[in-house]
């Protein structure tokens, strides 16, 4: 009796690949047919397509979403396709720009200086519970598009900054991957955390996020001293204090307000 021949590795690989491909096509086709059924059509003015073939809508598809389907805040969030389009057409192309001059570096450093000063305004708003104004302020270009452009220039300024200095600046948060992200990515992450939780955080928690941003800016400025604008006056760094360090009795601000109000009530009752 002759032994049974086993299929070769190449043949098994081909069979598994073909099976996986046919299975994927079948699932996508079924999903497309299922979502085309009248009972599952969107209530928007036009059908938005299936979740597979229409995954990651673009700007035009997002405009079809009605307010009764998605809140206005969610409608304003760009899709994955939009984010990647901006990445390919703006960010990647900015990396491929021509020669960077000394004036470019000076302008970029000046932007970071101004951003550092702008943080004081954000801290004031956080301390005074002005959440709407704070949310608007941390979305301004000085902390986003202008900052991104400035850090991108510094990262590519190999003719003016050392490798160590450029590594200190690092890449933006979405592009560093396995590489050393650097101060720029730390600032972006802290700003995103604050933006997503404005109104939920207490003032002290907002100040913690802003402190991370400030230290990131100061780290970048520490390696670009030769290019700073001397006309911009920046205060010395003040380390963030713990709540228990705010007074000698180790009582935080909330407890101090409560005790002060309680003392006032007691004195009123005595009168």
Q: Which tens digits make up the pLDDT trace of 14-32?
A: 889 999 999 988 877 776 6
Asked whether residue 163 is domain-assigned, the answer is yes
Tokens coding 159: 């003719």
Compute the average pLDDT of residues 84-102: 80
pLDDT score recorded for residue 86: 81
Q: How far is CA 269 from the centre of its chain?
A: 52
In a domain, 238, yes or no: no
pLDDT of residue 37: 56
Task: Confirm whether 133 is domain-assigned.
Answer: yes
Q: How confident is the model at residue 240 (pLDDT cuts 50, 70, 90)?
A: confident
Is residue 45 one of the residues assigned to a domain?
no
What is the reported pLDDT for 246? 54
Rg, C-alpha atoms of the chain: 27
> CA dihedral defined by 81, 82, 84, 85, rounded to 10 degrees?
110
How many Å apart are CA 184 and CA 216, to the nearest integer?
Answer: 7
204 vs 8: which has the higher pLDDT: 204
Question: Could you tell me the two tokens for 240?
Answer: 């963030």
The answer to whether residue 87 sits within a structural domain is no
For residue 95, what pLDDT is reported? 72
Packing angle of the helix pair 102-127, 145-156 (nearest 10 deg): 140
- 209 found inside a domain: yes
| 170 inside domain | yes
What average pLDDT does range 38-50 have in this prediction?
A: 48
CA distance 162 to 223: 9
- Boundaries of domain holding 148: 108-233
C-alpha distances in Å from residue 108, one per residue of 91, 116, 199, 210: 16, 13, 32, 21
Domain of 189: which CATH number? 1.20.120.290
Give 112-124 pLDDT, tens digit per residue.
999 999 999 999 9
Could you report the per-residue pLDDT of 139-158, keeping only the tens digit for each? 999 999 899 999 999 998 98
Q: What is residue 85's predicted lDDT score, i.e. its pLDDT?
A: 83
Would you state the pLDDT for residue 3?
A: 60
Q: Which DSSP letter does residue 89 get?
A: I
The structural domain count of the chain equals 1
């Amino acid at each position: 009796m002759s032994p049974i021949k086993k299929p070769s590795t190449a043949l098994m690989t081909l069979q598994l690949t073909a099976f996986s491909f046919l299975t994927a096509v079948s699932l996508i086709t079924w999903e497309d047919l299922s979502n085309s059924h009248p009972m599952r059509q969107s209530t928007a003015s036009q059908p938005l397509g299936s979740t597979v073939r229409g995954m990651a809508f673009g700007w035009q598809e997002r405009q079809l979403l009605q307010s009764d389907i998605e809140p206005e805040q969610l409608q304003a969030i760009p899709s994955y396709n939009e984010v990647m389009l901006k990445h390919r057409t703006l960010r990647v192309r900015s990396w491929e720009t021509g020669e960077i001059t000394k004036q470019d570096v000076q302008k970029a450093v000046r932007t970071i200086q101004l951003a550092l000063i702008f943080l004081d305004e954000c801290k004031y708003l956080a301390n005074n519970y002005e959440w709407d104004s704070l949310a608007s302020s941390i979305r301004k270009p000085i902390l986003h598009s202008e900052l991104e452009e400035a850090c991108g220039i510094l990262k590519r300024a190999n003719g003016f900054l050392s490798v160590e200095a450029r590594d200190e600046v690092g890449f933006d948060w979405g592009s560093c991957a396995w590489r050393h992200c650097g101060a720029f990515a730390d600032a972006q992450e802290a700003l995103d955390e604050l933006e997503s939780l404005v109104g939920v955080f207490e003032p002290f928690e907002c100040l913690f996020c802003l402190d991370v941003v400030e230290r990131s800016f100061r780290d970048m400025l520490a390696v670009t001293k030769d290019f700073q604008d001397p006309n911009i006056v920046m205060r010395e760094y003040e380390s963030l204090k713990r709540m228990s360090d705010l007074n000698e009795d180790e009582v935080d601000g909330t407890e101090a307000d409560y005790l002060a109000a309680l003392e006032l009530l007691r004195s009123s009752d005595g009168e």
